[in-house]
């Protein structure tokens, strides 16, 4: 059994490394090559980056492809480029725009992992007869009784399990994540030690296809009609102001409301059907119950017979919650504010090995018992 848990010698083991052009995937490719595996690096071209940020903080763009190619040339392994712009547009960008114009706060990185990066790249790697697909994600994978489990990474500040909640069991069995047991600082040190050209390259920031973090510019490009003026209501339904389009607002937002009030006002709900923004005090942001859609469950459903932990945002803390899988309902047992439809609710349970991923679902509706359903539906 080799270091990847495959019953072959390293020289007879073919691996595909998903290379974004960043430091993490480049280090992974170098580690695999130096260990003696047969490596094929694959970089996806996902969008037209001609007008994107030029500060090196995005991924899967022109410069990133060149960086990945240089790493492969230095280490002498094959590198391929897959042109997935059409797939990315239809399955990730369009979904992002649809979600945003519906008053949600989408996470396109999850959609990207679920579709072009794992589903399509998974198939491509299989077609190449690869024994495993390797990525630079910071998650821990543990093989047990023939099937793999995913845990939070050793580097909790870099853990990416939240973004991988939609991974299927078949994908998880095929995937490997060599960086799960090391810290980001160690990855940087390895890149310098290996003399990789990307050793000092900044990490990607925000959403790759959103130039300089300007979400509204993307919406304006694809759905210019979405900038429709409407009413701002208080939590009792009173018309207290006007907005320039719901896509300018997200749940929990305080700035940009432009309504004078004795106390700070926050966006507590967005009603896309009525084109209204509902604002109120911070108390109205507290959510105790959420409804999910499109659940993905990893492992035994018996784990949900007791209180588990959830995350409702990638940088958020673990919260205790009770889950009703049949009703796709989550009852949050701790105080949490600003939960938005379109985000993910990800399930975890703690065992002797760490925080194990149990799957998750998309947040369809967040309930505030103080807010009238007449305003939100």
109 annotated active-site: no
Label residues 103-114 b or e (16+ Cβ within 10 Å = b): bbbbbbbbbbbb
Q: Work out the number of other CB atoms within 10 angstroms of the CB of residue 100.
A: 24
| Strand, coil or helix: 115 | helix
- Return the closest-CA partner of residue 376 out of 368, 107, 242: 368
User: Tokens standing for 30?
Assistant: 């170098």
Please identify which of the residues 59, 112, 345, 349 carries the catalytic annotation.
112
* Beta bridge partner(s), residue 132: 15
- CA atoms of 346 and 163, how far apart (whole Å): 9
349 annotated active-site: no
Please identify which of the residues 59, 208, 345, 349 carries the catalytic annotation.
208
| Beta-sheet strands, E only, within 94-181 | 132-134, 139-144, 147-152, 175-176
Helices (H), the chain: 23-35, 62-75, 85-88, 94-101, 108-112, 121-127, 169-174, 184-193, 215-222, 373-376
Q: Work out the number of other CB atoms within 10 angstroms of the CB of residue 126.
A: 13
Q: What are phi and psi of 185, to 5 degrees?
A: -60, -35
Instruction: Report whether 96 contacts 108 (CB < 8 A).
Output: yes
Tell me the Cα Rg of the chain: 22
Positions marked catalytic:
112, 208
């Amino acid at each position: 059994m080799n270091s990847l848990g495959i019953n072959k010698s390293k020289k007879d083991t073919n691996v595909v490394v998903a290379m974004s052009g960043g430091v993490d995937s480049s280090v992974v490719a170098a580690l695999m090559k130096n260990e003696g595996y047969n490596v094929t690096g694959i970089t996806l071209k996902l969008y037209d980056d001609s007008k994107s940020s030029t500060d090196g903080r995005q991924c899967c763009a022109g410069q990133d492809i060149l960086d990945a190619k240089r790493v492969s040339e230095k280490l002498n392994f094959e590198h391929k480029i897959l042109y997935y712009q059409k797939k990315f547009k239809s399955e990730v960008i369009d979904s992002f725009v649809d979600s945003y114009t519906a008053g949600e706060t989408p996470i396109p990185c999850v959609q990207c992992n679920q579709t072009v990066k794992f589903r399509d790249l998974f198939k491509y790697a299989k077609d190449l007869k690869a024994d495993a697909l390797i990525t630079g994600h910071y998650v821990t994978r543990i093989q047990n009784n023939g099937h793999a489990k995913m845990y939070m990474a050793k580097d909790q500040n870099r853990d990416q399990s939240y973004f991988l909640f939609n991974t299927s069991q078949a994908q998880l069995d095929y995937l490997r994540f060599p960086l799960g047991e090391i810290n980001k600082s160690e990855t940087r040190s390895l890149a310098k030690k290996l003399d990789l050209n990307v050793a000092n390259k900044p990490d990607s920031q925000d959403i790759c296809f959103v130039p300089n973090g300007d979400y509204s510019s993307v919406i304006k490009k694809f759905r210019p009609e979405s900038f429709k003026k409407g009413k701002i209501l208080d939590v009792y339904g009173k018309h207290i102001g006007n907005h320039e389009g719901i896509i300018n607002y997200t749940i929990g937002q305080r700035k940009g409301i432009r309504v004078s009030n004795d106390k700070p006002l926050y966006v507590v709900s967005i009603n896309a059907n009525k084109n209204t923004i509902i604002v109120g005090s911070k108390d109205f942001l507290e959510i105790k119950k959420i409804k999910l859609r499109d659940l993905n469950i990893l492992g035994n459903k018996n784990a949900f017979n007791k209180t588990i932990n959830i995350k409702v945002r990638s940088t958020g803390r673990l919260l205790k919650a009770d889950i009703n899988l049949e009703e796709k309902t989550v009852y949050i047992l701790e105080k949490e504010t600003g939960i938005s439809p379109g985000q993910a609710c990800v399930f975890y349970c703690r065992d002797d090995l760490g925080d194990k991923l149990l799957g998750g679902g998309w947040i369809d509706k967040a309930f505030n018992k103080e807010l009238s359903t007449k305003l939100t539906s």
